[in-house]
Structure 1
Amino acid sequence: IMRKITTLLCVFCCCIAFSQEKEVPTFKKNEIKGNALFLVLGAVEITYERLITEDSGVGATVFFVAEDEFDSNFIFTPYYRAYFGKKPAAGFFVEGFSMISTGISNKMYYYDNNGNLTNIDEDRYTDFALGFGLGSKWVHKRGFVFEINAGIGRNLLSTNSPEVVPRGGITLGYRF
């Protein structure tokens, strides 16, 4: 009888041990964000990010502006990020990015006899850059996202474009 009880107890323990599932952490994997810093300056920058794991994500940013104060008038920036925080895809991060930009460089103006400012020369460019950045992201339990980032890259193709390109902002968004 003791042998039967021991066997039955072992089988029962094995069934319980194998019936437990490994807990898979779940988290929301999509983010949409807007750069509040550029909005104040008169430009629009919108970002979509897809979180691959708790420690990494890929995304793309679109920047456009219709004002003459900016050298670039359209920028598309895909990126990859590695996160080092305790929460999923939050905290300190490092990113590598590429950038396709179009714009106007070498603007030359003169004042005519009536005092009006007139554009006499400008060079248009399209260029491709590679760069890296750093930043930090905070995520509220309801899904709101606040992020600060800065980066630098180098244009590789055109002689008319700026040699060094900055990347950065203060963004607000939502994770869903």
Structure 2
Amino acid sequence: MKKKLIICLSFCVIALNLFSQENSSSTITSPSINQRDNNELRINIATSIIGFPELNYERFIEDNMGVGLAGSVSLEKTEDMSMRWYALPYYRLYFGKKKASGFFIEGNMALVGQKENYYESYFVNNTYVQGPLYTNSKTNFGFGGAIGVKLLARNGLTGEVYAGVGRLFGDYINDAYPRIGVCIGKRF
């Protein structure tokens, strides 16, 4: 299990580093790409309300595309929410007129940690008896997608709304993970 986690995290870090490297040996730069404001940090208000606050970091690699990483940890008890945490690298393609704004489509992959509590129950002498508490923990990997809209203000503040879903592989608790958000953020 630890080996799978290390491999997945290594792959995510390498993928983000490949996309975020700038070529300093090139003296010719594209006039359409603004060298400032290539980073964005956001908080997802929708998931924060349900006790699963999500932070997003996105790096724009072109005027119409970006790569990012979303991460979240559950603040709720295990009985209320089986998903405990996730790390979700994503790629977005934007279709707006401004830099990295307007309608977008997103492809993502997820590393999800889940925990489920259950009680073993049985009958003894025609009486229902609840046995001890058992906990199952598992880390799963999946792929998904989303669509949404990002709005950009002149001062660098952003707002976005998106919705999507992903499929978890080898999951015994949930077959899918939601990808929903109402986010506010800042470009820098």
TM-score band by shorter chain is 0.7 to 0.9
57, 60, 65: which one pairs with 2:66?
A: 57
Q: 1:121 to 1:82 in 2, by over 3 A?
A: same
Structure 2 counterpart of 1:95? 106
Contact 1:104-1:122 at 8 Å conserved across structures: yes
CA distance in structure 2 between the aligned counterparts of 1:167 and 1:109, rounded to whole angstroms: 33
Structure 2 counterpart of 1:137? 150
CA distance in structure 1 between the aligned counterparts of 2:82 and 2:132, rounded to whole angstroms: 14
2:45 maps to a residue whose letter is A
Q: 1:43 to 1:55 in 2, by over 3 A?
A: same
How far off is 1:156 after superposition? 1.1
147, 157, 162: which one pairs with 2:170?
A: 157
- The answer for unaligned runs of 5 or more in structure 2 is 1-29, 122-130
Q: Is 1:36 aligned to 2:45, yes or no?
A: yes
Q: Is 1:66 aligned to 2:75, yes or no?
A: yes
CA distance in structure 1 between the aligned counterparts of 2:142 and 2:31, rounded to whole angstroms: 42
Structure 1 or 2, whichever has the larger Rg, is 1
Give aligned pairs, total.
148
Cα RMSD after superposing both structures:
2.3
Q: Percent identity?
A: 31
How far off is 1:80 after superposition? 0.2
How far off is 1:96 after superposition? 0.4
2:159 maps to a residue whose letter is F
CA distance in structure 2 between the aligned counterparts of 1:66 and 1:170, rounded to whole angstroms: 19
Q: 1:34 to 1:109 in 2, by over 3 A?
A: farther
How far off is 1:108 after superposition? 4.3
Q: Secondary structure at the match of 1:162?
A: coil
Structure 1 counterpart of 2:180? 168
How far off is 1:125 after superposition? 1.3
Q: Secondary structure at the match of 2:48?
A: helix
- The answer for unaligned runs of 5 or more in structure 1 is 1-21, 111-117
How far off is 1:67 after superposition? 1.2
CA distance in structure 2 between the aligned counterparts of 1:64 and 1:49, rounded to whole angstroms: 19
Q: 1:138 to 1:109 in 2, by over 3 A?
A: farther
**TM-score for both structures, normalised by structure 1:** 0.77
